């Protein structure tokens, strides 16, 4: 069944209420553990259907944010999803209080109930109005960014499309594109700042209603972080600051040398260009990249070949940028059809290839875990999900000749260099968000000033030229996670540190590393993050010294490249 044949079903709150009411009654009236388990499994199947309907609406809306039918369906979902969450919350209260809890734990696992208890702490009927408003504000932000129209070189471009000009070989083009992006954010700054301010106050209000000091602890619970806390993350950021920041600065100096410039003369847009001869550029058009990816996954393993053909045959990739399409890229999953979906905005840059490895890594894990019966165990928490995607980027390394031709070495070097350089940016976004929610009454000006201060500490090479909005600390307004998924950004850095372990292992024994990776994907989300690492024999980034142990061999690989000839 092709994606376009999947029906668009607008949610009915009455139907949800009826289904959940019946399930709660059946669970309360269960005479045996077997009866209770049957009710749980029946509701899980219904939850899969509900999740599928909501996901299809979300995908269709992101594919065409200007479509009135999709807008209406998305608005309805935003409005009633917190009410649906409230019904599931009532179900959860009955479930954890079941007289058959012990027997159910033996069947479903202790972690299953830990997840439910965590969700009960992070949700209550009294915060439903705030959750409805939170959804609306997030959609409002997405719509503003999706509707961006920037006049540039005789074209009208969205934020994804103008990106290729910001990395152009010509310095003036890079400057002008970056200035145009900055200008657009400057023109829309007041509205974006208003949306974020409302989101921060809403989240702070919810946290206090639920008895938390501020949104930080609630934010962690909403992300299912059950085996680490903000203190552990703070210590992890310290490790990144001590190891990745100095290594990144060395790499930026190498970059300036490659470009024939003094480090002090480099503007932020100059760092967008990795090589004087131009950034590595994929060979061919989108259809050629898809053909190359198909060959790669056919060769990589039997599982990847079957999976990628399933995606292609069922039209589960939408990759081209176009007017009205939301910016960015993502993978999502529709359990009714056991089908992942990949969304992106190709723009003719190396980022297009990254989509065909990164987002495909997410989708591959979803595909391998599709037969796990308990929905809560199919996918792990966000930071663990990113291990699948970032590791796949590294497993794709041997195939880069097909994507980049003579530019393959340039890509490999810039990809690994970028993986290291991303870490300081990732902790910048994370530290900023902690400060924001610890100081919810700060003004927009104060937020920008704080971001600028953190940015200068972790990425001191940045020098903004003719970009006044970003120079004063407004870069965070570009980062959609800050708006829609608070605290979901450090996850990428944690996953990167773990994915680098696969990179190091595959250089020693590719077959062994691949088997370990497939095992991790099939493991799904049967443990929280730290537990998942332990079960799969991977280093825990929170433990002192582990970040250095991972980055040291990566630094040696980077040193082995002769980038002066690229």
Q: What is the pLDDT of residue 407?
A: 94
CA distance 353 to 310: 19
CA distance 554 to 548: 10
Does residue 195 sit within a domain?
no
Does residue 405 sit within a domain?
no
Q: In what order do the strands lie in the sheet with 339-346?
A: 317-320, 339-346, 330-334
pLDDT single digits (tens) 200-244: 999 999 999 999 999 999 999 999 999 999 999 999 999 999 999
Q: What is the pLDDT of residue 487?
A: 96
Does residue 482 sit within a domain?
no
Q: What is the pLDDT of residue 418?
A: 94
Q: What is the pLDDT of residue 279?
A: 86
Radius of gyration of the chain (CA): 24
Q: How far apart are the first and last CA of the chain?
A: 46
Q: What is the pLDDT of residue 357?
A: 97
Number of domains in the chain: 1
Mean pLDDT of the chain: 95
Q: What is the pLDDT of residue 342?
A: 98
Q: What is the pLDDT of residue 565?
A: 84
Does residue 99 sit within a domain?
yes
Does residue 102 sit within a domain?
yes
Q: What is the pLDDT of residue 160?
A: 85
Q: Which distant-in-sequence residues (6+ apart) come within 8 Å of 272 by Cβ?
A: 166, 167, 174, 178, 279
pLDDT single digits (tens) 137-177: 999 999 999 889 999 999 999 998 899 899 999 999 999 99
* Regions of the chain with pLDDT less than 70: none
Does residue 250 sit within a domain?
no
The domain of 44 spans 3-135
Q: What is the pLDDT of residue 347?
A: 85
Name the token pair of 325.
């399409």
Burial class for 371, CB neighbours closer than 10 Å (0-12, 13-18, 19+): exposed
Does residue 458 sit within a domain?
no
Does residue 449 sit within a domain?
no
Flag whether the pTM goes above 0.75.
yes
């Amino acid at each position: 069944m092709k994606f376009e044949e999947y029906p668009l079903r607008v949610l009915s709150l009455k139907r949800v209420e009826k289904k959940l009411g019946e399930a709660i009654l059946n669970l309360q009236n269960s005479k045996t553990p077997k009866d209770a388990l049957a009710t749980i499994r029946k509701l899980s199947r219904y939850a899969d259907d509900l999740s599928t309907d909501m996901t299809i609406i979300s995908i269709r809306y992101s594919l065409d944010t200007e479509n009135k039918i999709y807008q209406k369906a998305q608005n309805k979902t935003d409005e009633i999803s917190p009410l649906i969450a409230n019904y599931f919350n009532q179900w959860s209260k009955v479930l954890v209080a079941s007289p058959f809890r012990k027997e159910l734990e033996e069947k479903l696992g202790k972690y299953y109930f830990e997840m439910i208890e965590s969700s009960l702490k992070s949700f209550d009927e009294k915060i439903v109005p705030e959750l409805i408003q939170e959804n609306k504000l997030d959609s409002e932000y997405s719509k503003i960014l999706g509707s961006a129209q920037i006049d540039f070189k005789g074209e009208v471009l969205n934020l994804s499309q103008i990106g290729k000009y910001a990395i152009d070989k010509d310095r003036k083009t890079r400057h002008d594109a970056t200035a145009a992006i900055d200008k657009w954010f400057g023109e829309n700054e007041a509205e974006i700042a208003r949306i974020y301010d409302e989101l921060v106050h809403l989240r702070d209000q919810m946290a206090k209603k639920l008895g938390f000091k501020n949104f930080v602890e609630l934010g962690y619970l909403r992300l299912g972080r059950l085996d680490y806390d903000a203190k552990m993350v703070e210590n992890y950021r310290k490790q990144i600051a001590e190891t990745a920041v100095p290594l990144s600065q060395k790499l930026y100096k190498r970059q300036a040398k490659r470009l024939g410039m003094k480090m002090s003369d480099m503007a932020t847009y100059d760092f967008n260009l990795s090589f004087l001869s131009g950034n590595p550029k994929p060979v061919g058009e989108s259809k050629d990249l898809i053909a190359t990816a198909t060959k790669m996954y056919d060769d990589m393993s039997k599982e990847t070949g079957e999976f990628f053909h399933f995606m292609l045959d069922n039209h589960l990739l939408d990759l081209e940028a176009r007017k009205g399409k939301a910016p960015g890229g993502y993978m999502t999953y529709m359990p009714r059809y056991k089908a992942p979906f990949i969304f992106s905005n190709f723009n003719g840059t190396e980022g297009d290839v990254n989509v065909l490895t990164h987002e495909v890594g997410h989708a591959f894990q979803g595909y391998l875990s599709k037969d796990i019966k308990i929905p809560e165990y199919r996918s792990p928490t966000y930071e663990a999900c990113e291990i699948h995607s970032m590791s796949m980027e590294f497993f794709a390394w041997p195939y880069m000749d097909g994507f980049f031709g003579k530019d393959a070495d340039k890509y490999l070097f810039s990809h690994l260099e970028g993986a290291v350089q991303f870490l300081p940016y990732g902790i910048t976004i994370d530290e900023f968000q902690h400060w924001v929610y610890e100081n919810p009454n700060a003004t927009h000006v104060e937020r920008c000033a704080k971001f600028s201060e953190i940015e200068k500490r972790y990425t001191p090479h940045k020098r903004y030229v003719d970009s006044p909005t970003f120079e004063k600390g407004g870069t965070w307004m570009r980062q959609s996670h800050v708006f829609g998924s608070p605290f979901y950004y450090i996850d990428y850095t944690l996953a990167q540190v773990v994915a680098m372990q696969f990179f190091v292992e595959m250089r020693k024994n590719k077959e062994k590393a691949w088997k370990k990776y497939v095992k991790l994907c099939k493991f799904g989300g049967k443990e929280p993050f730290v537990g998942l690492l332990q079960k799969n024999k991977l280093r825990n980034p929170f433990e002192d010294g582990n970040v250095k142990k991972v980055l040291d061999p990566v630094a040696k690989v980077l040193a082995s490249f002769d980038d002066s000839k690229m």
